[in-house]
Structure 1
């Protein structure tokens, strides 16, 4: 046998490494795309709906570069002359990684941002309450799901002007594309149907029945074989074949307030990461046999999620914690938490977003966007002290100056029943309840409840002055249109 030289061994090893790298692409790209190692050129973005900001993070050392301010907090945005963006929420990016597309629900807009300079390039206004926007794989179009109506607005990928509309059932929630650019998948937030649309002619070529009407998010695997989507109202995640006839493959119970899903490919295989708000966890599933392989505790109300360019990390926006969590995908452990703006929704990891320079232009410090108060509610009779993991309901008060936006991630209640979030004069909830917000639970017995006012001043421990009347947050069922006996009370 001819002896093998050291040089040939090295060349063979390099060829093997190159072959591995060439088949390790990450979502939303193709498996054939090369991995891009984490570096200071990368950026992680979060769309923040109460501070109306976009946080910008350098993942190489997990520090906040700053925020891009797209609008003002309440009550400044109540003015009829207000010109900023409102309820900054959705996010996508271009195939060349140079443009970020940010959807603002309240102002019906898509803001296009230069990733190198953080400067606004253009603002496109679309129909009522858009939810998400993403570039097609060839970069020629931007699809925007107009959730308040019944169509996908198709914008030109260069001019950002609307060029056509694709009619779908009312309430399109999000869209993502097959890595080969053949199909667009559009789930619905109002109808139990996900539609498959041909990119070539914008024609509908398939339908997938959702187990419930409320899908906020979906993701396609880089190998082009599967599409995963979440169902927030029933706490499930479903998987279907990304190719005709688009057969449903699996339905998984993931938990109350199931938010977003994304795909990670690493040395251990391909996995779906699902954020579950009611449990404050990220659940990890294999894509080959759908088995759950990890449960990762994170902070309050995990929402958006996106993998790094090499699949070694996944980043999670914590909606009621105002933080971004970085997870090592080989150990499935949280390795960093970065303070960001108020109520992060969509998250995007953009490799090589800043090819040169420090990428700090046109950013600001967090300021008011970083000021929040965190509370928790527990079931009556279980004791008052609570951590986020044991709380039935987590509450965040987002400072907007003298007032706060309250957001409660409610779980542990009866499904499809009316309840009241209110104030009680007594720590145990006894006595009369002053209503703050009425709400209806979803089929999973959960809800996201919002209110606005000077709430921190009366409910936060140590805040009330001597002359003020301290009150306590409670949740009570509605009985004949009035609050009944509280079932959850504020932890002290």
Structure 2
């Protein structure tokens, strides 16, 4: 009996998939168990990014770091302002099933979780839940999807078969993200509004312990593959906190990581297990050992690194660059960036899913980037001159057709003070100021500031006589003071 080459290939892939998605899923890399085998990078793997201003999910092949296309879940502004609009808004969070066959994608602005078939890139269902959900992930047994409803005070527990909400787990207001121990026994839920992380017994859906957060704003949490430690980030103070993943769940270490500390994840290699922490403002990924917490590398990656996820064999770490519309690939052997992939606007959560594509050549339900690939970058520097010669604030203008969404990653200001992002008449920040957005810095002197309008047409160097200059001034909208940061030339 003759056997075709394609049949042999399919058999090998199915065998590898069964190995990778058995009782211990995800292959020795977070969020799975350390005891599972690594899965070498292949064309069957996919890297997904949730992109909140283009409302897309980008799909990348990690072998050649090539964008295959995007899954369009909604429209950019102003199309999504219509009262008859049915798409998703602010595509943000992401998790995947233990069998690697389904994504759960959270959209903050439309209060939804969209379930996507990884083999076909098709939307299977959209479940609408409470106000401003943030992140979603499957339990390790695949029987439930837990979603943090950050705009309220509970975890929404969804049945991934019926896509219906089955129960709610009450938490302090503003649960930021949950992640599970590799054995599925515990869930760890940090808060974005309260200085408390809750430990939940998964089988009973009950809080069994509380861990003090050193500040209220935690956007991200992760568990080491050996199940010993939980790491979570504190975006408001620029720190990363570590506690014991098992009783008594005691604090272990707090690390000063830097302004706009975003996400953390792990790669296990022959040299040990390492935590990779994305730091906006500094535009770096910092790498720490998990045994002695020493910092072993600082990796420049580009503007406002956000989501982070390891490959199935720990040889790569992928980072979403929120203010660069790109995906950075890091080689964990050298801790250096080896590729940058253009993707959609303002990537947030990242997920690397081994074996997601049974047919690696299948492109169904994928679209070209289109307007999602259009953006411009500016930088703001201290009016008095930056001490290290670097501009402390990066600005991205994401095209939405005739208008842009402006996002500024602000650093280098006084902590807990009021400021205004404004348009100035002159490049030195003098003249009348036209406020765009008011904000207050966090304890690290940083902030993420957003505005919308035909801004590129005003601040572009070709705007001639009508040109205005982006600045940051002290004070508020009613009474802005002098400019403290001005457009870098």
TM-score category, normalised to shorter length: over 0.9
Q: Which residue of 2 aligns with 1:486?
A: 483
| SS of structure 2 residue aligned to 1:395 | strand
Unmatched 5+ stretches in structure 2: 1-23
Q: TM-score, normalised by structure 2?
A: 0.93
Q: 1:141 aligns with which of 137, 141, 144?
A: 144
Q: What displacement does 1:356 show? A: 2.2
Within 5 Å, give how 1:234-383 maps onto structure 2: 234-382=237-385
1:23 positional shift? 12
Q: Which runs of 5+ in 1 are unaligned?
A: 1-20
Match of 1:419 in 2: 419
> Equivalents in 2 of 1:24, 1:480: separation in Å?
52
Q: Secondary structure at the match of 1:484?
A: strand
Question: 2:94 aligns to what SS in structure 1?
Answer: strand
Q: Secondary structure at the match of 2:38?
A: coil
Q: How far is the alpha carbon of 1:480 from its aligned partner?
A: 9.4
Judge conservation of contact 2:51–2:58 (CA < 8 Å) in 1: yes
**What SS does structure 1 have at the residue aligned with 2:486?**
strand
Asked whether the 8 Å contact 1:24–1:266 carries over to 2, the reply is no
Q: Work out whether residues 264 and 278 of structure 2, in 8 Å CA contact, stay in contact via their aligned partners in 1.
A: yes
Q: Secondary structure at the match of 2:40?
A: coil
- Paired residues of 1:118 and 1:359 also in contact (CA < 8 A): no
Runs of 4+ in 1 over 6 A off after TM superposition: 21-24, 383-386
Corresponding residue of 1:8: none
Contact 1:137/1:177 (8 A) holds in 2: yes
1:94 aligns with 2:91: no
Match of 2:163 in 1: 160
| Match of residue 200 from structure 1 | 203
Quick one: distance in 2 between partners of 1:148 and 1:381?
40
Give the SS at the match of 1:485: strand
Measure, in 1, the Cα distance between the counterparts of 2:27 and 2:63.
20
Deviation at 1:302, TM superposition (A): 0.1
The answer (yes or no) to whether the contact 1:384–1:491 under 8 Å persists in 2 is: no
Q: Using the alignment, how far apart are the partners of 1:122 and 1:351 within structure 2?
A: 22
1:474 aligned residue: 471
Distance 1:109 1:51 in 2: 16
1:22·1:34 contact (CA, 8 Å) conserved in 2? no
- What is the deviation of 1:460? 1.7
| Partners of 1:23 and 1:32 within 8 A in 2 | no
Contact 1:22 1:33 in 2 (8 A): yes
Cα distance between partner residues in 1 of 2:193 and 2:201 = 22
- Cα distance in 1 for partners of 2:94, 2:181 equals 18
CA contact (8 A) 2:26 2:312 kept: no
Alpha-carbon deviation of 1:384? Answer: 13
State the partner residue of 1:455.
Answer: 455
User: In 2 relative to 1, CA 252–53 (structure 1 residues): closer, same or farther, beyond 3 Å?
Assistant: same
1:444, 1:290 → 2: CA distance?
Answer: 22
CA RMSD of aligned residues (A): 1.6
After superposition, the C-alpha distances for 1:251-302 in whole angstroms (9 at most, x for unaligned) are: 0000000000001101111000000001000000000000000000011000
CA distance in 1, matches of 2:445, 2:360: 49
- Cα separation, 2, equivalents of 1:270 and 1:228: 13
* 1:432 Cα deviation after fit: 2.1
The question of whether the paired residues in 2 share the 8 Å contact of 1:36 and 1:351 is answered with: yes
| Paired residues, number | 466
In the superposition, the TM-score normalised over structure 1's length comes to 0.93
Q: Is the 8 A contact 2:231 2:241 kept in 1?
A: yes
